Structure formats: C-alpha cells, structure tokens
Amino acid sequence: MLKAVIVPTAGALLLLAAMVGAVLHFATEGSDAVAAQRQARLVEVAMLTAVTGVRKDQEASTYWDDAVRRVHEVPLDLPWIDQNLGIWFHSYYKHDETYVLDARERPVYAMRNGRRADPRQFSGIAPGAQPLVAQLRAKLRRGDLAAASSVEQTPGASTMAMVRGRPAIVSVKPILSETGEITQRPGSEHLHLSVRYLDGNFLTDLAADYGVEAPRFVTMPSARAAIPLWSAEHRLIGYIEWQAFRPGHVVKRHMAIVLLTALGLIGAVLAWLLNRNLRARLELETSRAQAQHLAFHDALTGLPNRALFNDRTDHALARTRRGEEATLLLLDLDRFKHVNDTFGHQAGDELIREFGSRLTALVREVDTIARLGGDEFAILLPQLTDKDAIDGLCQRILSAVHAPFEVLGNQAFVGVSIGVVQAPAEGTDRVDLMRKADIALYKAKAEGRDCYRHFDLSMDATVKLRGTVEEDLRSALATGEGLALHYQPLVGTDGKMVGVEALLRWVHPEQGLLPPAQVIPIAEETGLIIPLGEWVLRESCAAAKRWPDLFVALNLSPVQFRTTGFAERVLEIIRETGVRPEQLELEVTEGVLIDDDELVRAGLAQLRAAGLRIALDDFGTGYSSLSYLRKFEVDKIKIDRSFVQHLGHTVDSAAIIHAVVTLGHAMGLTVTAEGVETGDQQRFLKLAGCNQMQGYLFSRPVPAGQITALVAQRCALRAA
C-alpha cells in the first residue's frame, strides 16, 4: 500500500521535477537570449555613438573662426594648437592621436598620447586615413558643406580601421569658420584628423558607461558574446567581445540546489520564474516604448519632432475633407544666434527648453507643438481657424517670449517671428502648407521680426515674382538689355548744375519699369549686386568722361563694400575707362558705417586716397553719430528728403537742417539737400548754408542725352 503510494508519488514528483526542470531550462535560456540580444544591441549603439562622438568632439574646435586663422599662421603657434587642436583632445576627450593637414594633405602638426609629436609620424596612419581624407576633400571641393549627421554642424568622414596594427576610430573634419566671416576656397580647407584606439582606455569607458563586463578586442571570436566591427569600406576589422550577462544561467544554478533540497518549493519557484519572465518581457516592452518615443520626440525639449508633427498634420488635413479645419504656425526665434555666441551652446539649449515650456503653457491639449530643428518650432491647431483666436494666441506667444530667459545665471532676450497658414483655405497638402507658412514667416522677418503674419496669395505671388526677377536680371546683366542709367542734376546755390546722380533703371520684359527699391534687395540676396554694381560703375565712368565739368555720384550697396577687394576693383575699372577719379562721388548709407567694419574703413580710405569723394547719403535717418563722421572721413553729407519735405510744416525739420549744415561746415564737409520741390524750400536751404541741392524743382532723373543738352545750354536750372 505504502509502496503503491510512494512509487506513484515519487514518479509524480520526478515527473513534476522534470517538468519544472524543463520549464526552468527554457525560461532561463529565453531570458539569457533576450538579455544577450539587448546587450549586443547596446554595444552596437555604443560603437556607433563612439564613431559619431569623435566627430562631434572635433567640432568643438574645428568649427571656429580662431582655428581657421591659427592654422594658416606662419609659423604655427604650436602652444595654441596644443591647447585647442592637439593635446587638449587627449586630456579632455581621450583621443590618442590628432593631426592637422594643410590643403595639400601634408601634416603640419601631430599629437600622440598627449604629447606633441613629429608631423611625419602621420605616415604610420596614412594607409587607414587617406581614403577618408580623399572622400572629405572631394566633398569640400564640390562646395558640399552638409553636416555629416543630424547632430553635427559640419561635414566629416569617419571609419573604424587598423592603425599601427591596432583597431581604432579614425575621423577627419574640415576646419571651418563658424560665423561665415572667413572665406576659404572650396577644397583648400585645413583638415583635423583624430584617432582613438579601441583596445585601450576605450574598453574601460565601454565597461563603465554601458555595464559591459570584461570587454576586449579580438581578431577571431571565441565562445563569449561578440559583435563584428566593420570599416566604412565594409571590411571586417575584428570583434568586440565581452562576458555576456546571463541572468537565466545564474537563476538556474541556484534553483538546481533548491530543487535537490526541497521539491516542495518547486511550485513557488515556478511562480517566481514566471514572474521574473513577465518582468523581463515588461522591461523589453518598456524599452521598445522608450525607443518609439525617442523616434518621434525631440531629445532636448521632449516635444514632438518633425516626423511626429508631419504625421499628426497629415491626419488633421485628412479630416479637412470631412469639413474640419486646422491652422499651422511656423515659429523662428529672433536673435537666438546672439545668445549662443554670447553665453555658449549650453545656454542656447536651456533657452530652447524654456521656450518649449512657455509654448506648451499657451496651447490646448489637442494642439501639437513640435521642434523642427535648431530654433525652429511649429504648432498644429486642429479645429481652430477663427482669426481673432489665432491672433490672440500669436500675441500671447510674442508676450511670453518678451519676458527675459534665465540661462546659466544670465538674462537673455530674444524675439520670435511667426508665419500663419490655414487649411483648407490655403490648401490641404502638408508640404505646400509648410511652404506657405515659411513664406509668411519670411514676411514677418522682412517686416522687422518679432511679429506674426498670415499667409495670403500676394505673398506667394511676390516670392514667385522674386524668382522671375532674379532669373531675368541675370539675363539682363549678360546682355545689357533693358538696363539703363538716368541722371538727376545737382545744382549749386546759383542754380547751375555741378554734378549728377546716377540712378538705375530696368525695364523688365514683362513687368515693365521696376524701381530700384525692388531690384536692389533681390540683387543683394542673390549676389548679383556685384556684377550689377560694376555695370553701373562702368556706365557712370563713361558718362563722366562725356561731362568733364561735372561730377557723377553713384550709390553703393553695403554688400559691395563688404566684398573683399572691392576698392581695388573700383580703381581698376576707373583705370580701364580713363575717367578722372575726382569726377566720381560714391554715396554710402549710415548702415555701412555703423557696423564699424575694418574692411569697410580700409576700403573708404583707399578710395579717398585715390581721389574719389565719399558722400554719406540719407543723413539724419539713422544713428547720425559724430564719431562715425570722424572715424570714416567722408567728404559730403546729404540731408534726407524727409526733412526737406516737412519744411514749413514742422518746426523741428528747420532746426534739424540748420544743425546738420552747421555740423557739416564745422567739419569741412559739403552739405547737399535732397528732395527740393518748391522755390520756398530752395530759398530756405540757400539761406541755411546748403552748398548743393537736388530735386524735382530743378529736374527729374533723365537719360544721358538730356544731361548733355543741359551742359551745352550752360544755364541755371529751375522748375519747369
């Protein structure tokens, strides 16, 4: 009877133990497999992060105006290079070797293991580095400065390779101007090359940062966990292997002891194992959810990113087919670069986070705020197209941004420009709506920034017209068709003509006569102002030769003055045309002087020394600083027409004109008044002491032939 009970019971217990053992085995093996997969993915991410990290490390010093200047110095300031491009990378980022290559790929600086080295040691890494250098140099020669990745600002190339018989990350970056003020011929940039070996302290960091046990580099994998390392050319470098974390194995070892000592606890152990397995699955699901969140959210602010914003916008636009409406806002911070330059990128990141928080506090739960990149944000407002409500939100956003931002113990002040577009009124295609919102944003920036503008069809037409005008202006410059100069006389106090001002006229083949106020901004933005300015200068020189007793004044764009070699080019054209420099008068605006640009100052001095006269146009409408007049040494100031037109209507206009004339004469300058249209204005200006006058009272701008006729008449000009 007992045997009959014990044997079946023992058999049942053994069967139960076998079943428990089988369940335990498969559960722990599955746990080990999940852990191994997760750890392998973690190590793969760590290696990719390390490669990108070396490039990001380099940008700390290679994307910097000072670095561009220093690497071109002869001789090199080696202590400075040590502290910024060499030894510092070893002490701060743990780079093992760094090199600086000139435009011909010759090493001019080397650092190895934290010490300055002979640049010729570059030959030891050249086989692994030259393909990267050639790849990057080819990209630079094409003028392609696109960032190597979304987290970088400049191009670059990197790979994993065998260097001096050791595995290493090799990365090369161009040394570029951050501000854009230093121009380098594409492909002539110095390069910065960094090497970090993977079999040194990198493995220590990998173990500490990612919890990887006993990592090491091998050329052939063993029984331990491992991932392959591939170069950019898809060549196998070797393997990173480590002692795999096997939670299931640990559990199984301990449970075996428990099973041998107390089969009665098998049920509890099974429950524990099932619970552990459930937790592992929950952790895996949590990890997947986190990865999903990171894929659709901005890492800095936690806001939706462009991908999620596009998805939600597409859904909202799909609902517009059922009669719903939506509004898109595109926002761009004003003066954000100034904060970055003044307080550093960390301060800029803090400001971006705070700006995102302020926006979140202003919108509804159904609205979507997204950071599209940099300082650009977007807001989706489903089921909201009421103009008053939208205007109210935009005003609240502007007010919220006006409050100072506390960043790193400092107060930063920025503004925001906003473009507004509505669906379906302006369309239902997301790409087209974003384009229109960007046009409205551009309009807000063009009209002073720190404001909002609703898109309307005239804006789209204006953008398209600008494109057409740009293309046709290029054609006109190539053929000269439609371009002409008209000349408006300047007269002395006796009414006789002493000079003329050259004014551009362009008869567009479709739009007709376009005013300079429409043509010049487009020329400045597209770079056409340089050839257009040279055309105006050559025509003015030719006119001056025909009228040897007159001077010819022509307006210069600030863009022209800030172009390297501008003064030399002006003098070269004067020599080619044979005109006397004393016959030319160059008019500049106060904005050119306010920037206090050394290039502008040197150019003005060079032109004056050659005999040309410099006139300050529209005096009194800007800053009108006495210090600028002294520093830049102009020959003439021109009183803006707005003061002349108000003579007899406002008391302050007369007082301002008297003050400007007194100031000009005290400094030995010629004073010219623009916009003279009545005899009363002429008489007042003459009594006030103006040396020259210009305006419709004497003549409108006319073709060169009419000026020739006036010169032949040799009579005083008066109103027609």
Task: Compute, in degrees rounded to 10, the torsion defined by CA atoms 139, 142, 145, 148.
Answer: -20
Which residues, in sequence order, are CB contacts of 11 under 8 Å at separation 6+? none
Q: Please give the structure tokens belonging to residue 551.
A: 């001077």
Amino acid 622 reads G
Amino acid 490: pLDDT: 96
C-alpha to C-alpha distance for 387 and 327, rounded to whole angstroms: 10
Over 60: is that where the pLDDT of 25 sits?
no
Rounded mean pLDDT, 93-97: 94
Give the phi and the psi of residue 568 in degrees, each rounded to 5: -60, -40
At residue 304's C-alpha, the angle toward residues 298 and 310, to 5°, is: 120
707 by DSSP, 3-state: which?
Answer: helix
Q: For residue 231, what are the CA distances in angstroms to 95, 160, 171, 239?
A: 19, 5, 12, 12
Percentage of the residues of the chain whose pLDDT score is greater than 70: 85
Over 70: is that where the pLDDT of 291 sits?
no
Q: What is the mean pLDDT of the chain?
A: 86
Percentage of the residues of the chain whose pLDDT score is greater than 90: 52
Beta bridge partners of 373: 376
Rounded mean pLDDT, 214-225: 85
Which residues, in sequence order, are CB contacts of 393 under 8 Å at separation 6+? 329, 362, 363, 381
Over 60: is that where the pLDDT of 204 sits?
yes
Over 60: is that where the pLDDT of 5 sits?
no
Q: Please give the structure tokens belonging to residue 48.
A: 């990719």
Q: For the chain, where do the domains classified as CATH 3.20.20.450 start and end?
A: 472-713
Over 70: is that where the pLDDT of 185 sits?
yes
CA neighbours within 13 Å on the CB side: how many for 331? 25
Each residue of 587-598: pLDDT tens digit?
987 666 655 457
User: Would you say domain 306-455 falls under CATH 3.30.70.270?
Assistant: yes
DSSP class of residue 173 equals E
C-alpha to C-alpha distance for 514 and 397, rounded to whole angstroms: 38
Q: What share of the chain is helix, strand, coil (3-state, %, to 5)?
A: 50, 20, 25
Helix axes 457-479 and 529-546, enclosed angle (nearest 10): 50
Q: For the chain, where do the domains classified as CATH 3.30.70.270 start and end?
A: 306-455
- CATH architecture of the domain 472-713 equals Alpha-Beta Barrel (3.20)
Amino acid 2: pLDDT: 43
Over 50: is that where the pLDDT of 310 sits?
yes
Of 143-152, 282-291, 304-313, 596-605, give the range with the top mean pLDDT: 304-313
At residue 232's C-alpha, the angle toward residues 228 and 235, to 5°, is: 50
Beta bridge partners of 484: 505
The structure's pTM equals 0.47
159 by DSSP, 3-state: which?
Answer: strand
Residue 15's pLDDT band, with cuts at 50, 70 and 90, is low
Closest CA to 462 of 433, 489, 442, 482: 442
Closest CA to 298 of 344, 363, 352: 352
Amino acid 274: pLDDT: 61
* Max CA distance (Å), the chain: 147
C-alpha to C-alpha distance for 522 and 133, rounded to whole angstroms: 38
Rounded mean pLDDT, 611-615: 94
Rounded mean pLDDT, 629-649: 82
Q: Please give the structure tokens belonging to residue 194.
A: 């960094």
Closest CA to 587 of 636, 544, 547: 636
Tokens 């190895």 belong to residue: 112
Over 70: is that where the pLDDT of 135 sits?
yes
369 by DSSP, 3-state: which?
Answer: strand
C-alpha to C-alpha distance for 379 and 359, rounded to whole angstroms: 9
Helix axes 306-319 and 430-446, enclosed angle (nearest 10): 110
Each residue of 240-267: pLDDT tens digit?
999 887 665 556 666 667 767 766 676 5
Q: For the chain, where do the domains classified as CATH 3.30.450.20 start and end?
A: 49-243
Which of 25-29, 142-146, 172-176, 630-634 comes out lowest in average pLDDT?
A: 25-29
Closest CA to 424 of 436, 412, 416: 436
Rounded mean pLDDT, 467-493: 86
Residue 510's pLDDT band, with cuts at 50, 70 and 90, is confident
Amino acid 654: pLDDT: 86
Higher pLDDT, 569 or 478: 569
- How far from each other are the two terminal CA atoms of the chain, in whole angstroms? 140
Closest CA to 171 of 120, 136, 122, 121: 136
Amino acid 1: pLDDT: 47
C-alpha to C-alpha distance for 315 and 324, rounded to whole angstroms: 11
Each residue of 37-88: pLDDT tens digit?
888 898 888 888 889 999 999 999 999 999 999 999 999 999 999 999 999 9
Ordered DSSP codes for 399-427: HHHHSPEEETTEEE--EEEEEEEEETTT-
C-alpha to C-alpha distance for 490 and 691, rounded to whole angstroms: 10
Over 90: is that where the pLDDT of 693 sits?
yes
Topology annotation, domain 49-243: Beta-Lactamase (3.30.450)
Torsion region of 537: left, alpha or beta (phi above 0 gives left; psi -120 to 50 gives alpha):
alpha
CA 582 to chain centre: 43
Rounded mean pLDDT, 310-327: 91
Rounded mean pLDDT, 110-132: 93
Over 60: is that where the pLDDT of 27 sits?
no
DSSP class of residue 121 equals G
Each residue of 407-433: pLDDT tens digit?
998 999 999 999 999 999 888 999 999
Give the phi and the psi of residue 61 in degrees, each rounded to 5: -125, -20
Number of H helices, E strands in the chain: 25, 25
Amino acid 385: pLDDT: 81
Which of 15-29, 47-61, 225-239, 324-338 comes out lowest in average pLDDT?
A: 15-29
